[in-house]
């Protein structure tokens, strides 16, 4: 297969490319990435000479570039490309609408123009945040109405609806996956877990929103990659598949677990003003993908967080370059100079 991966220099995309090249030694992957703040060429620098991996700097919102690329022939598209940080979407929603909504539309239109001569499998990577927030009970299922609460999640929900419409209207072989919070190697250090790990390593305070009791379901990124592989090869067209990690944990628990792994005191935790519209709890039902396709997570949170902490300990140069560049200014704006 020849697979086009959009946003492959980001966290999940780069992990997927590594996973896929290792799992399918005869497949070819083309990575298109705009290289915005979270897209890092260093994530895949060791693959630069592989004949099975090709990088193209590109923007999924560039109509002519995407049409030209897709018309040359690919068997599948895995659409990771997205602006993905809630705080940034609150500060400046424009880029989120352009990339997440219009960019997805551009890709779908390019696929439609070559269909049915080329039948390109389209997997759109979404998020459980499109469902909104849960109370103390309940769980997200694929049949729930969408109720996004941030500009980021609203842009992802909009893209999901476009994918659904293009399948039902034009017959495009498309599916949507909605995953819970990922963690693992190569995650940009503004996200919670890498921020907490890198700060703890440097004996800096760990900023926690509100009371720290916001609950997220955590999944190790390698498990997510396996799920996407499963949907690509065996998932039904036109379907939505939830992907979860069976690890519902409050942010405060996650922070304490990281400090314990590093032998650091819990006194490094600092509670900061909560973000506007902060969803209280996410919990995801992945029984559909488990029942239909036989996938389930295999890496428990404790094992995954140990792997992740060790990776950040042994890759300080990677995240220090980021935290002393553009990210440093962002960090100061969000949490001050302390």
Q: Is the same domain home to 66 and 148?
A: yes
Q: Is the same domain home to 172 and 258?
A: no
| pLDDT tens readout for residues 116-152 | 999 999 999 999 999 999 999 999 999 999 999 999 9
Q: Is the same domain home to 156 and 275?
A: no
Q: Is the same domain home to 156 and 60?
A: yes
First to last CA, the chain: 50
pLDDT grade, residue 331 (50/70/90)? very low
pLDDT grade, residue 329 (50/70/90)? low
pLDDT at 338: 37
With H, G, I as helix, E, B as strand and everything else as coil, classify residue 30: strand
H-type helices in 6-51, by residue range?
11-23
- Domain span at 257: 192-216+247-284+299-324
Number of independent structural domains in the chain: 2
Q: Is the same domain home to 97 and 208?
A: no
Q: Degrees (nearest 5) of the Cα angle 94, 95, 100?
A: 110
pLDDT grade, residue 323 (50/70/90)? confident
- Strand ranges inside 138-214, DSSP E: 174-179, 181-183, 206-209
Q: What is the mean pLDDT of residues 282-307?
A: 98
DSSP state of 184: S
Please enumerate, as own/partner, the contacts of 132-140 that have beta carbons within 8 Å and a separation of 24 or more.
132/279, 133/279, 133/280, 133/281, 133/282, 134/280, 134/281, 134/282, 134/283, 135/280, 135/281, 136/281, 138/283, 139/283, 139/284, 139/285, 140/178, 140/242, 140/282, 140/283, 140/284, 140/285
pLDDT at 326: 54
In this predicted structure, the answer to whether residue 155 has a pLDDT above a threshold of 80 is yes
Q: Is the same domain home to 27 and 46?
A: yes
Strand order in the sheet with 181-183: 181-183, 215-220, 248-250
Q: Is the same domain home to 143 and 123?
A: yes
pTM, to two decimals? 0.94
CA distance 110 to 70: 7
| pLDDT tens readout for residues 198-232 | 999 999 999 999 999 999 999 999 999 999 999 99
Q: Is the same domain home to 170 and 198?
A: no
In this predicted structure, the answer to whether residue 55 has a pLDDT above a threshold of 60 is yes
In this predicted structure, the answer to whether residue 337 has a pLDDT above a threshold of 50 is no
In this predicted structure, the answer to whether residue 58 has a pLDDT above a threshold of 60 is yes
pLDDT at 333: 55
CA distances from 273 to 169, 195, 205 (A): 45, 17, 14
Active site residue ranges? 128-129, 152
CA distance 323 to 326: 7
């Amino acid at each position: 297969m020849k697979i086009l991966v959009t946003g492959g220099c980001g966290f999940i995309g780069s992990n997927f490319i590594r996973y896929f090249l290792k799992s399918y030694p005869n497949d070819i992957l083309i990575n298109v990435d705009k290289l915005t703040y979270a897209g890092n060429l260093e994530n895949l620098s060791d693959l630069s000479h592989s004949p099975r991996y090709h990088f193209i700097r590109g923007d999924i919102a560039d109509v002519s570039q995407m049409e030209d690329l897709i018309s040359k022939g690919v068997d599948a598209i895995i659409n990771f490309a997205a602006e993905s940080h809630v705080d940034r979407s609150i500060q400046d929603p424009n880029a989120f609408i352009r990339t997440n909504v219009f960019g997805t539309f551009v890709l779908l239109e390019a696929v439609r123009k070559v269909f049915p001569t080329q039948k390109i499998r389209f997997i759109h990577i979404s998020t459980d945040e499109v469902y909104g927030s849960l109370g103390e009970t309940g769980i997200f299922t694929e049949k729930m109405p969408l109720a996004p609460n941030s500009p980021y999640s609203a842009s992802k929900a909009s893209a999901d609806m476009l994918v659904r419409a293009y399948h039902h209207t034009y017959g495009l072989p498309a599916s949507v996956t909605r995953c819970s919070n990922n963690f693992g190697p190569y995650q940009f250090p503004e996200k919670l877990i890498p921020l907490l790990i890198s700060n703890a390593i440097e004996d800096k305070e760990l900023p926690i929103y509100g009371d720290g009791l916001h609950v997220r379901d955590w999944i190790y990124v390698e498990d997510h990659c396996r799920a996407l592989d499963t949907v690509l090869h065996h998932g039904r067209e036109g379907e939505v598949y939830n992907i979860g990690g069976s690890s519902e944990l409050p942010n405060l628990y996650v922070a304490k677990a990281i400090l314990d792994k590093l032998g650091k005191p819990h006194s490094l935790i600092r509670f900061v003003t909560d973000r506007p519209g902060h969803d209280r709890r996410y919990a995801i039902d992945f029984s559909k993908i488990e029942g239909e396709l036989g996938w389930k997570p295999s890496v428990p949170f404790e094992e995954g967080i140990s792997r992740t902490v060790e990776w950040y300990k042994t890759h300080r140069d990677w995240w220090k370059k980021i935290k002393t560049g553009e990210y440093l200014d962002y960090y100061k704006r969000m949490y001050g100079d302390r």
